[in-house]
Structure 1
Amino acid sequence: MKNLSFAAFVFSALLVSCSKKEPADLYPADSQKANYDTTAIDSFSNGATSIDVVRQIRMSSQKYQDSVKEALKLQEQEKKLKEELEKENKNKAQEEKKAEEKNKPKTPEIPSAGETKAEQ
């Protein structure tokens, strides 16, 4: 009798543990849905923005356009300053040449030692 009650207990435990159970529905139909997008977007999925498109968007922004204009203005100003400096340097060089020519004493030509007065 002890063996029979023990066997019945083991048999009932096996039936309960090995019975086919329905899997729990992980996403029931009446569950609340999120009101935001929860899918991850990588570089190959739909809706992903390529690097080139982002670059074009940034380049077309007003801030970028303003910075480009400022850079061009600075380059033009530097170019003008360099031209003015070159003109000033040329003028100074010409003035120095004129001053040297005025200050240069006119010396008569002295014949070299190998020349005689007859050859002149």
Structure 2
Amino acid sequence: MKNNLDKILNQPSYWIEGINGVLYNAIIEFMEKNKFNRTQLAQNLGISKGRVSQILNNGEINFSIEKIVEISIKIGKYPVFELEDSQIYLNKLNQTKQLKSMRISNFNDYSTNLF
């Protein structure tokens, strides 16, 4: 039986939300950097002001891959995409978790010795 992490990672919605989040953050950063209002952002991205409001108010991205690439380029970003073997990805996640756990444990040991 798969564990919860496997179940989550095997849901397309998990990855879609991740991509949407990255694009949302990049759009916000671009808007702030250029001091654009919503109308200026819409004009620059080639989308309607209403669509900009949907993005900014609700985080609703859900663009086609073509539109994601187009918007990425317009905000000065290249949409780097790669596919990774699922088992290698899981191994990396586990190693990262182990490292974080070790760091926290080491910090706790260190801070206990300080006091």
Q: Normalized against structure 1, the TM-score is what?
A: 0.25
Q: Which has the larger helix fraction? A: 2
Larger C-alpha radius of gyration, 1 or 2?
Answer: 1
Higher relative contact order (CA 8 A, sep 6+): 2
Q: Normalized against structure 2, the TM-score is what?
A: 0.26
